Amino acid sequence: MAASAKKKSSLTPAQSKATLRRVLRHIRPYAPFVACSLLVAAGSVAAQLYIPILCGDAIDLMLGPGAVDLPGVLGIVRSIVIVAALAAFAQWCLSVCNNRITFSVSRDLRNASIHKLQRLPLSYLDSHPSGDIVSRMIADVDTFADGLLMGFTQLFTGVLTIFGTLLFMLRENVPITLVVVCITPLSFVVASFIAKRSYGYFQRQSSVRGEQTALVNEMIEGQKVVQAFGYEDESLNAFDEVNGRLQNVSLKAIFFSSLTNPATRFVNNLVYAGVGLVGALYAVAGGLTIGQLSIFLSYANQYTKPFNEISGVVTELQNALACAARVFELLDAEDQIPEAPDAPALQPDGHVVLEDVAFRYLPDRPLIENFNLDVKPGQRIAIVGPTGCGKTTLINLLMRFYDVNSGRISVSGQDIRDVTRASLRGSYGMVLQDTWLRAGTVRENIAYGKPDATEEEIIAAAKAAHAHSFIRRLPKGYDTVITENGGNISQGQKQLLCIARVMLCLPPMLILDEATSSIDTRTEIRIQAAFARMMQGRTSFIVAHRLSTIREADVILVMKDGHIIEQGSHDQLLAQNGFYAKLYNSQFEGVDPAGDPS
């Protein structure tokens, strides 16, 4: 598993360059801030490099006891204070510009990611752990921002310091400067060695961290089930395995990145020793003053210090690029099939037709084949069948969460692929077995599909869904805040709120997928009566396992292996004594229609 993760997460040099180019494209809109950052960085570096010259001049004015040009020294000290103040102001401006660039780019990436999430097909979300997607949008963008900020803050000043120091040193003494230049390539060799080895580990670190986030997210969401089935030890073992891989790859990444400081310090000491030795020989021979020697020693420190910083920055940038590549991978995922620019809005009359529809989730596993159905306006169509026969898949196709592989689905004579998705989905009111509520008040959740609903409309919808009584008993009634996915109310209460949400909108077509599965029998009878009133004149698709809830349907479709094998009213199907009759009777006899005990 670790090997496969390694292979999957490592990027080639070409991919690394492509990632860097994309990062630069995201920075391009903030070019004025980049230019400002470069200017103030240059000003800061120039000020810092000018201070050693002033100090050297001051030293040369101190010739010995009783031979100190005090007025001249005091004048230089005033100049040093002014230059230092200018350098500090430039550093502050640099920080403001760099923070603006970094966090603007981070904001843009997160905005692009959340907009991308709205365009992704459900097949992508179904095949990728939600925790990994969250890790890309949050943790990876944060790590990228940290690396980018360090790059702008230290890389600009570091590079400018190196070149600026060389220019000042050449101005003072060429031979000593050549000593520095000759030792410098060793720093680049060290930095290159570390960068090549650390990048792959940082990329794998980001990938494994995404796995870990996905696992933690899964365990948190399913903790009740984990504890109910005594799966604590297995979940801990799974976490330990992922955590162990994260530790292993992180230690390797940190090991190589930690080589940066001692290696570059070794090179720095060589440079400092070389400058000191050659400078001392020149001073003894009278080629340099003591003040000039102090300038060179100061420059030797300033020249080598950026190599420490740049080496550290290179390591952080490698990590940042690795995280950016994961974010770009999300952004590059294939969008759902786009709508035509001139796609009209659907004007539904409730007439739904499926012609020769075929669909499969996996290319080698057919699910629905040659499916034909003609639903007249206002009909109530019940869909039944054993688990996995394609009932929920049919709902996904009607809502165009997935597109058919062949054939067509039309509403009011219009192919649903030719109309806008928003108008199609707005034409259906959907209550699913899997409830979903947002973190917010009860009122906000009921009005989710109709934000401008009045208080009276919200209460009327809650009463129709038989949710009003339990809402009144909540601490703040309709203003009670529901936690993420309704964690502080029961499953049945969540389903009642979802039903109220549909009752408020009352669209022309309805989809009820096990809509009363979590509700007690007494409330279910009331809800069924409310549904019956709501379905009057509306085309309705009802998916149910409890067949007693669909006796009043106009047409019952019996599905098996993606095909309609029987259809008719409840009484007609019982009279046929076919698969539906066996399925219906099995609910009272406790026998599977295939003949196995249930």
What residue spans define the domains of the chain?
A: 118-331, 359-427+513-521+538-592, 433-506
Give residue 4's pLDDT. Answer: 37
Q: What are the pLDDT digits (tens) for 523-539? A: 777 777 777 777 888 89
Angle between helices 156-172 and 174-183 (to 10 degrees): 140
- Per-residue 3-state assignment (H helix, E strand, C coil) for 331-363: HCCCCCCCCCCCCCCCCCCCCEEEEEEEECCEC
Q: Could you tell me which residues are beta bridge partners of residue 380?
A: 540
Q: What span, in angstroms and rounded, lies between the C-alpha atoms of 457 and 439?
A: 21
Give residue 82's pLDDT. Answer: 92
The matching CATH number, chosen from 3.30.360.10, 3.40.50.300, 3.30.70.870, 3.40.1190.20, for 359-427+513-521+538-592 is: 3.40.50.300
Q: What span, in angstroms and rounded, lies between the C-alpha atoms of 100 and 140?
A: 19
433-506: CATH topology: Rossmann fold (3.40.50)
> Same CATH fold, 433-506 and 118-331?
no
Which stretches does DSSP call E strand in 138-213?
Answer: none
Give residue 156's pLDDT. Answer: 76
Q: What span, in angstroms and rounded, lies between the C-alpha atoms of 33 and 22?
A: 18
Q: What span, in angstroms and rounded, lies between the C-alpha atoms of 537 and 558?
A: 23
Give residue 559's pLDDT. Answer: 84
Give residue 389's pLDDT. Answer: 80
Residue 180 Cα to chain centre, angstroms:
46
Q: What span, in angstroms and rounded, lies between the C-alpha atoms of 377 and 352?
A: 8
Which phi-psi region, left, alpha or beta, contains residue 65 (left: φ > 0; alpha: ψ -120 to 50)? beta
Within the chain, which residues score under 70 in pLDDT? 1-13, 63-66, 185, 187-188, 191-192, 194-197, 199, 224, 229, 260-261, 304, 307-308, 311-312, 485-487, 515-518, 545-546, 548-549, 587-598
- Sorted by sequence, the CB contacts under 8 Å of residue 383 that are 6+ apart come out as 391, 394, 541, 542, 543, 544, 556, 557, 559
Q: What span, in angstroms and rounded, lies between the C-alpha atoms of 166 and 177?
A: 7
Give residue 410's pLDDT. Answer: 93
Q: What span, in angstroms and rounded, lies between the C-alpha atoms of 137 and 330?
A: 9
Residue 49 Cα to chain centre, angstroms:
43
Provide the whole-model pTM.
Answer: 0.66
Number of H helices and number of E strands within the chain? 23, 12
Closest CA to 482 of 428, 435, 434, 429: 435
Closest CA to 498 of 511, 508, 509, 481: 511
User: Are 90 and 43 contacting, i.e. CB atoms less than 8 angstroms apart?
Assistant: yes
Give residue 2's pLDDT. Answer: 35
Q: Are strands 428-431 and 509-513 parallel, antiparallel or unpaired?
A: parallel
Q: Could you tell me which residues are beta bridge partners of residue 539?
A: 509
**Six token digits for residue 538:** 């509306």
**Six token digits for residue 127:** 């095949």
- The residue count of the chain comes to 598
List the Cα angle 92/93/97 in 5-degree steps.
Answer: 120
Kindly state the helix (H) or strand (E) to which residue 564 belongs, with its residue range.
strand 563-568
Give residue 91's pLDDT. Answer: 87
Q: Could you tell me which residues are beta bridge partners of residue 68?
A: 62
% helix, strand, coil for the chain, step of 5: 65, 10, 25
Q: What span, in angstroms and rounded, lies between the C-alpha atoms of 396 and 387?
A: 16
User: Are 358 and 369 contacting, i.e. CB atoms less than 8 angstroms apart?
Assistant: yes
Closest CA to 352 of 382, 373, 383, 370: 373
Q: Where are the alpha helices (DSSP H) in 10-69?
A: 13-27, 31-60
User: Are 492 and 465 contacting, i.e. CB atoms less than 8 angstroms apart?
Assistant: no
Q: Are strands 555-560 and 563-568 parallel, antiparallel or unpaired?
A: antiparallel
Q: What span, in angstroms and rounded, lies between the C-alpha atoms of 1 and 6?
A: 9
**Six token digits for residue 411:** 């509403």
Burial 86-117 (b: 16+ CB within 10 A, else e): bbeebbebbeebbebbbeebbeebbebbeebe
Closest CA to 306 of 172, 164, 196, 101: 164
Q: Could you tell me which residues are beta bridge partners of residue 415?
A: 410
Q: What span, in angstroms and rounded, lies between the C-alpha atoms of 198 and 594?
A: 59
Angle between helices 174-183 and 185-221 (to 10 degrees): 40
The matching CATH number, chosen from 1.10.620.20, 2.40.50.840, 1.20.1560.10, 3.90.1300.10, for 118-331 is: 1.20.1560.10
Closest CA to 542 of 592, 437, 498, 532: 532
Residue written as tokens 């604590």? 232
